[in-house]
Structure 1
């Protein structure tokens, strides 16, 4: 089984009662809302990753203002020729504020739309679990930057 590690950085951008989300398009065409962010390039600082990804996916310039936490996920995915990958995603989640730019969708990327969504409607959106994780970290600010494994 191949072991795969992906380190990524994401931004929780809340203004008033709205959160900035990007709509991720999976390989099978499924679309779900996520936090703006994505994979780190080799040698890139995680804050620079989050800033770059917010601009790529939403059109906005952003400043990371606080480290909210680090989230780790593990999945097993099928690969070619009947093999499987043991995937671990390490997700660094920041609080961010918008400093410039204008809202626009990403072109030729993994997302196709960006939008400000009312916080009280997020639970009704078709979204990845990272949105709930990011909002939970933003609201609760756990001392260790993560929630207990059983809760």
Structure 2
């Protein structure tokens, strides 16, 4: 079985009661909302990753103000030639504030647009689970950087 590790950094940007999200094509068609951010490049600091990814996906310059926590997930995916992939994702979630730039959409990237959404409306959006995990970290600010849901550590 092939093993794959992906480390990524994401931002929770809340301003005037609204959350900044990016839109990404969903598997099987359609779209889903995601936290802006993405994969670390080899040798890159996660802080620098989140700054770079926010500019790429939203057009905004940001300053990460705190590390909210880390999410770790492991899943099995079918691979080529019947060889499964054991995928381990490690996602660092920062709180960030906008320091400059203007909202714009990413061209030729993993997302196609970015937008602000009222916090009360996020639950009604088609979104990846990482949005909810990031918001839980932002709201709860757990000392250990992990949140509990339904008796399970995330």
**Both structures adopt the same fold (TM-score exceeding 0.5):** yes
Shift of 1:83: 1.5
**Cα displacement string for residues 32-58 of structure 1 (whole angstroms, at most 9, x for unaligned residues):** 101000000000000000000000000
Tell me if the contact between 1:19 and 1:116 (Cα under 8 Å) persists in the aligned partners.
yes
Shift of 1:147: 1.7
Correspondence 1:63 to 2:63 = yes
Matched residue, 1:128? 128
In structure 2, C-alpha distance between the alignment counterparts of 1:116 and 1:27, rounded to whole Å: 23
Matched residue, 2:95? 95
Judge which range, 76-85 or 136-145, deviates more. 76-85
The normalised TM-score by structure 1 is 0.96
The normalised TM-score by structure 2 is 0.94
SS in 2 for 1:144: coil
Gap regions ≥5 residues in structure 2: none
Q: State how many pairs are aligned.
A: 151
Map 1:40-119 to 2 at 5 A.
Answer: 40-119=40-119
Alpha carbon RMSD of aligned pairs, Å? 1.2
Gap regions ≥5 residues in structure 1: none
Shift of 1:26: 3.9
**Cα displacement string for residues 126-147 of structure 1 (whole angstroms, at most 9, x for unaligned residues):** 0000000000000000110002
Judge which range, 130-139 or 22-31, deviates more. 22-31
Shift of 1:16: 1.4
Over 3 Å off, 4+ runs = 26-30
In structure 1, C-alpha distance between the alignment counterparts of 2:58 and 2:29, rounded to whole Å: 20
Shift of 1:28: 4.1
Change (3 A) 1:5 1:30: farther
